[in-house]
Structure 1
Amino acid sequence: MYDNIVYTQGSEAGLSRFFSKVYSLVGMGIGLSAFVSLLMLYVFPQNLIAIMTGGSWIYYGAILLELALVFMASSAAAKNTPAALPLFLTYSALNGFTLSFIIVRYAQATVFQAFLSSALLFAVMAILGAVTKKDLSSLRKAMIAALLGIMIASLVNFFLGSGFISYLVSIISVLIFSGLIAYDNQQIKNVYYQTGGNVGDGWAISMALSLYLDFINLFLNLLRLFARND
């Protein structure tokens, strides 16, 4: 479906095509995840309930498989192998499956509000990252450091069960992934120009995977924040 393409060095039209290619993959990933989640919620709700009540090992097994698929897809994209796209799409579908177990716990209006807000915030930060002249590399380093801190805080709070810490973690996470969205969009430009327009499937899938993860994490954290009003 996607052929390796060498774009014209310095061509704005070539850069636009590369952006389009990356975002078509992001859209495919998010769309596939949404489709699988809707299937589980509205076509196979009994299966969803059965897994939640007596087959939790299936859910946790899917989580572990997701982690493996992320690393496999990232590695395949870095090597620009044909397996990269199928791995990315398989991960997206599996993520839709696991997301359904989270979404089912929230009101439909809250899920819609979180998704719409995520899409709008994603668009704003994507545009900001694409047009800014400021190097966002230092921002990424700060965001990664903050993300590690958030992971540690979340682990500690797993045992504490503090609602305030959970709320604070969600707010900081929204800020972190908003910053990463801007950085990743700037990286699309950087990769294009640094390779002289020699960007094919591997780079596009790698960029798409990063943006897909940014969006999903942004959505989940906004969902937790909006759910406090349910």
Structure 2
Amino acid sequence: MADWNQNQHERQGFGTAPDARGDVTDNTVMDQGLRKHMLSIYNYMASGVLLTGIVALASVASGITGALVGSGIWFVIALSPIAFVLLMSFGANKFSAGALQVMFWSYAAVMGVALSTIFLIYSPGSIAVTFFATAGAFAGLSLWGYTTKKDLSGMGSFLIMGVVGLIIASLLNAFLIGSPGLELAIAALGVLIFAGLTAYDTQRLKAEYFHFRGTEWAKKSIILGALSLYLDFINMFMFLLRFLGSRE
């Protein structure tokens, strides 16, 4: 694996070439800018996941989760993350990068409260195992999406349709069918779909850098990119938990 921390005089970046004087062209600067851009996205995404975990643990430990589950307030909390995603996605043009950043942290915190119920259902050990399994899979898939030369853009529409199908199937099974077998099938499809979205979104975010670099939207794309990868990670984790989670 290439050492990204290696000094420039020891290594030329991918896609760079020396000019007539032996100096490296502007492609090196572009590669450095891309790495910085993607690293910022990963840092925001990882910080959001960490905040969600801390809030979830604090919510359970303080008794807030147990006190609110089943109440009208809990219903609002459970739906709030959807409202945040819709607001950030469709209102991005109206908000500044700073406003989107505040909404992202708020979203991660509210999601922590909403997901805290998993500690009432599954054992802490199985949650930890599932989390690290998801983290490993996410890292591998995202790395593949970043480095592959294969164009993954054709997967986008198919995967989004898969997400819609998952939502419909989950609602039908929850309120009408109630089949444990169907629930496992939905979980398996969910893991596969969000695994694909992890690679697809990584490649998409990499391509967006070249389109938006140097513009005001570049700062916003970092926050929105972190949101996309955060959603991929959390959903893959939740579907995988149905297989690896040991119920209390």
After superposition, give the CA deviation of every residue in 1:154-202 in whole Å (9 maximum; x if it has no partner): 1211121100000000000000000000011101210011235545320
Partner residue, 2:82: 67
The CA distance in 2 between the partners of 1:196 and 1:92, in whole Å, is 26
Matches within 5 A, 1:100-139: 100-139=116-155
Greater C-alpha Rg = 2
Shift of 1:110: 1.1
Match of 1:83 in 2: 99
* 1:18–1:215 CA distance, 2 compared to 1 (3 A): same
For 1:101 and 1:90, the matched residues in 2 are separated by 19
Tell me how far 1:80 sits from its aligned partner: 5.4
Alignment of 1:146 with 2:162, yes or no, is yes
Structure 1 window deviating more from structure 2 (203-212 vs 58-67): it is 58-67
1-side partners of 2:224 and 2:104: how far apart?
Answer: 9
Please point out which of 30, 52, 57 is paired with 2:72.
57
Q: State the shift of 1:142 in Å.
A: 1.3
Of 146-155 and 215-224, more deviation after overlay is shown by 146-155
Query: What amino acid is the match of 1:35?
Result: I
1:28 aligns with one of 47, 66, 70? 47
Q: Tell me the SS of whatever aligns to 2:150.
A: coil
The answer (yes or no) to whether the contact 2:209–2:218 under 8 Å persists in 1 is no
Distance 1:48 1:195 in 2: 41
- How many aligned residue pairs are there? 219
1:78–1:215 Cα change, 3 Å: farther
**Is the counterpart of residue 193 in structure 1 residue 210 in structure 2?**
yes
For 1:133 and 1:13, the matched residues in 2 are separated by: 19
Equivalent residue, structure 1, for 2:11 = none
- TM-score (normalised: structure 1): 0.88
**1:28-47 deviations in Å (ceiling 9; x for gaps):** 211110110110122x02x3
Matched, 1:48 2:65: yes
Where relative contact order (Cα < 8 A, 6+ residues apart) is larger, the structure is: 1
TM-score (norm 2): 0.82
**Displacement, 1:63?**
1.9
- 8 A contact 1:32–1:96 mirrored in 2: yes
Q: Work out the percentage of aligned pairs sharing the same amino acid.
A: 34
Cα offsets for 1:82-131 (capped at 9, x unmatched): 31000010000000001001332101111011101110010010001000
In the alignment, the residues of structure 2 paired with residue 206 and residue 149 of structure 1 have an alpha-carbon distance, to the nearest angstrom, of 24
Pairwise CA distance, 1:20: 1.0
Unmatched runs of 5 consecutive residues or more in structure 2 = 1-25
Alpha-carbon distance in 2 for matches of 1:185, 1:31: 20
Distance 1:38 1:228, change over 3 A: closer
Other structure's SS at 1:87 match: helix
Secondary structure of 2:117's aligned partner: helix
Partner of 1:225: 243
CA contact (8 A) 2:145 2:199 kept: yes
